Structure 1
Amino acid sequence: MLEKHIEIYWNSLAGIFNEYVQGEMACKKKQAWKMILRKYAGTAENTRILDVGTGPGFFAILLAEMDYSVTAIDKCDDMLTQARQNAASAGQAIHFLKADAHAAPFPAESFDLIVSRNVTWLLPNPLAVYQEWHRLLKPAGKVLVFDTNWFLRLSDPELKLQCDKYRQLAIKKGYKELITPEQQDESDDIARKLPLTYEKRPSWDEQAFCRSGFHNIIIQENINELIYDEIEQILYRPTPMFAICASK
């Protein structure tokens, strides 16, 4: 079953991605992300935020430090273990819960903002998830997605050439792969079974949000310079990270 395969695979990477998050916490990326999140989350008191696919808890901790009320969900037990440990080390009280993005166990209109980073590409049914997020948001609530066309290269030969080119340039600058070739092959195999591997984003997301009842959709097509270091900007030049914010 695809969803079980995804869960097992990402559980196996929890330690690796926790190390990456620890690095983000210790450099200027942390403040850069806080500025971006504040821009969309606003400054209203008692703002309730749901972090979907929290992984080791990076967004959840940042948002809690900014005095928001944060609930964070993930499908992977090992990721949640890392997230709870990281939140405790940061002195932040966050409600962590194992849950699916498409069937979160919360009443309708529970949250003011839903956020996710590098999660939506991994959804077997992303449209259903966006519809679920619409249900979970309060009136005038917002959803904020950060993602990129991580695996479009599998169906776009020209993009693959560009990704290979800039990966080699990044390696020459000192980039080191986070995962092994075998883990990368497994990730590619999972991606080939997922719908967003074959869609150009964020244009797909804009249409999906409209179909799900959202409006006032704001898109930043490329935020690489805001959140990546020099080597990452080279590595991800062909696949820039986008930000998309949609209101209920």
Structure 2
Amino acid sequence: MSERNRTADTQERINTYWTERAPGYDEYQQRPDRLAEDTRAWSQVWAQALPPAPLEVLDVGTGTGQVAMVLAGLGHRVTGIDLAEGMLAQARRHAATVPGGPVIRPGDAVHPDFPPASFDAVVSRYLMWTLREPETAVANWVRLLRPGGTVAVVDSTWFPDGLDNASENFADHYDSQVRAALPLAAATSIDQTVSVLERAGLTGVTATPLTSIFELDRRFGVAPNHEHRMQYLISGRV
């Protein structure tokens, strides 16, 4: 198999996994017992991460559109992209419920198809660990930013003991070929993600622990088959 075909095959396996997960994933994100508090807490996270609205924001790996919806609620003009059709369907459904909601479209987080200097910020949540070629991806995000623009990503060290030891069942789609293509999947320190942003030429890169989200997870519990871990906002500027 050529390298190009191998990359396409790897991404397709990832897409299939998240398409199958999409309905249950969205149901958990919309849990009525914590939805209002989640929205409030994430609104504060993103309001502190980005300059005041309105900005042109690209949400890469938008998934069910939770971040895109929060950012639109803060007054930003948001475009969300993803390659998993099941996730896109959920995100479009949410976007259609509000005036000025995010624009949701298919797109590759590694190679977003937009002209240079199209956005004031590029954001993601829970993408870095499952992102192939993260250094290429972040370099491409930087290319899309206007002067002074921001890259801000949220993630954690979800599987420091490796996906083989994760309680989540990745076996069907995250096989050895997929795992080999994901440098941050088994990261043991958030500093590994920080380094990716720094090597892309971003300045002032910081990793901020999201204690408000940690506390919500303590009170309400974490997603099925996940452990209670600190999440971080990693951000830098052009």
TM-score normalised over the length of structure 2 = 0.84
The Cα shift of 1:227 comes to 4.8
- Which residue of the partner structure matches residue 94 of structure 2? 86
Fraction of identical pairs, as percent: 29
Q: Please state if 1:98 is matched with 2:106.
A: yes
Q: Please state if 1:247 is matched with 2:231.
A: no
Q: 2:198 aligns with which of 184, 206, 210?
A: 210
Q: 1:185 aligns with which of 159, 163, 171?
A: 171
Q: Please state if 1:29 is matched with 2:38.
A: yes
Measured in 2, the distance between the counterparts of 1:201 and 1:211 equals 16
How many aligned residue pairs are there? 224
Contact kept? 1:148, 1:242, Cα under 8 Å: yes
TM-score normalised over the length of structure 1 = 0.81
Q: Please state if 1:147 is matched with 2:147.
A: no
The Cα shift of 1:41 comes to 1.4
Contact kept? 1:14, 1:79, Cα under 8 Å: yes
- Which residue of the partner structure matches residue 3 of structure 2? none
**3-state DSSP of counterpart to 2:63:** coil
- Which residue of the partner structure matches residue 217 of structure 2? 228
- Which residue of the partner structure matches residue 70 of structure 1? 78
The Cα shift of 1:121 comes to 0.6
- Write out aligned runs for 1:143-182 (5 A): 143-154=151-162
Q: Please report the RMSD computed on the Cα atoms of aligned residues, expressed in angstroms.
A: 2.5
**3-state DSSP of counterpart to 2:69:** helix
Structure number with the higher helix fraction is 1
Change (3 A) 1:101 1:78: same
Measured in 2, the distance between the counterparts of 1:12 and 1:221 equals 30
> Per-residue displacement from partner, 1:13-59 (whole Å, max 9, x unpaired)?
11111112222773311100001100111214x31111111111111
Measured in 2, the distance between the counterparts of 1:122 and 1:93 equals 26
Contact kept? 1:202, 1:221, Cα under 8 Å: no
Measured in 2, the distance between the counterparts of 1:143 and 1:122 equals 17
- Which residue of the partner structure matches residue 178 of structure 1? none
Q: Kindly provide the amino acid, as one letter, of the partner of residue 214 in structure 2.
A: E
The Cα shift of 1:102 comes to 1.2
